[in-house]
Amino acid sequence: MLKYWCMISIKNLKKRYDDGNFAIRGISADFDKRLTTVIGRNGAGKTTMMRILSTQLLQSSGTVEIDGLDNVKDAKEIRKRIVSIPQEASPIGYLTPMEHLKMYLCARGMSLKDAGIEASKALRELELWHARDTPSDMLSGGMKRKIFVAMALAANADTIFLDEPTTGLDPLSRIEVWSAIKRLRGNIVLTTHYMEEAAELSEAVVMVESGKIIATGTIKSLLSKFKGMARAEITSSSAKAKYTIGNTKIEYIKLKEAESYVKNGYAIKPITLDDLFIMRGVNIES
């Protein structure tokens, strides 16, 4: 059970893979809220960072402290206190949710009896109880992901890392997984591509792109400059605009201006995560 607030402190973190490319190019941040969302597009460096924080990968330079423990020197101690659910996690088809949880808890050092008790509590709490003895092959995508959230819940870890827990799920299954995540105890670091997921689950958001942090704050503060605005897009070589992505020219306009932009052939789109990245000069085509 969480006894005190845990904080993750990252200083000038860099990771260069063997092929010579830097996946993390100097990240410094304190994750001091209960749930921090790391948001970024494909290849931004989210998984690399999560793997370093959860002691599965060594950084090239820089330091990481979790609750005062160093991710390299104190890796063994950190591992007792964390749960990490990787991006590619998928259950073993012929094992049931109950079997997954018991196996996981026993591997973490729990007795089989205690594992059964904790697994039952978690499966009940996350509304997986009715499916506890169903082979996971027969469960929906959302239910499969919930098995991993149940593992994290049952392990009673201080800190939980969830790498893209809802990618590929339909909107309803995503909501189901969100409600499971909300019942987790302890501190959580979660990665996602989805703005609405960050908004639903967390206060603190860290935006990463090309191995760097490009903005941090609350969803509200990050979106504040877009209040009452929309995105006007036109595909035209002659149009002048502040932002250009390929052939598309983009302007950020006030909603009351939309009509005149439509008359001039612009398409009006609601603001999305992409706009936060575009405004910061990220080429979202790449």
- Residues 23, 29, 128, 282: which binds ligand ATP (CB under 6 A)? 23
- Token pair listed for 19: 């092929």
Distance CA 109, CA 210 (A): 38
Verify binding: residue 40, ligand ATP, rule CB under 6 A. Answer: yes
Least distance (Å) from ligand ATP to the CB of residue 46? 3
Nearer to Mg ion, 82 or 128 (CB): 82
Spatial neighbors of 27 by CB under 8 A, at least 6 apart, are: 10, 12, 13, 14, 45, 49, 62, 208, 211, 212, 213
The residue sitting closest to Mg ion, measured at its beta carbon, is 47
Q: Cβ-count burial of 109 within 10 angstroms (0-12 exposed, 13-18 middle, 19+ buried)?
A: exposed
Verify binding: residue 198, ligand ATP, rule CB under 6 A. Answer: no
Q: What one-letter code names the amino acid at 220? A: K
Verify binding: residue 100, ligand ATP, rule CB under 6 A. Answer: no
Q: What one-letter code names the amino acid at 189? A: V
Site size toward Mg ion (CB under 5 A) is 3
Of the listed pieces 42-50, 153-161, 228-236, 263-271, which binds ligand ATP according to CB under 6 A? 42-50
Order of strands, sheet of 267-269, starting from the edge strand that comes earlier in the sequence: 243-245, 248-254, 229-235, 267-269
Cβ atoms of 50 and 191 closer than 8 Å: yes
Site size toward ligand ATP (CB under 6 A) is 13
Verify binding: residue 186, ligand ATP, rule CB under 6 A. Answer: no
Verify binding: residue 45, ligand ATP, rule CB under 6 A. Answer: yes
Nearest to 164 by CA among 155, 153, 151, 174: 174
Nearer to Mg ion, 50 or 128 (CB): 50
Of the listed pieces 5-13, 36-44, 71-79, 230-238, which binds ligand ATP according to CB under 6 A? 36-44
- Residues 36, 37, 47, 192: which binds Mg ion (CB under 5 A)? 47
- Residues in region 59-98 near ligand ATP by CB under 6 A: 87
Q: Which does 23 bind (CB under 5 to 8 A by kind): ligand ATP, Mg ion, none?
A: ligand ATP
Nearer to Mg ion, 40 or 91 (CB): 40
Q: Cβ-count burial of 49 within 10 angstroms (0-12 exposed, 13-18 middle, 19+ buried)?
A: buried
Q: Which does 40 bind (CB under 5 to 8 A by kind): ligand ATP, Mg ion, none?
A: ligand ATP
Coil/strand/helix, residue 25: strand
Cβ atoms of 278 and 250 closer than 8 Å: yes
User: What are the residues binding ligand ATP (CB under 6 A)?
Assistant: 17, 19, 21, 23, 40, 42-48, 87
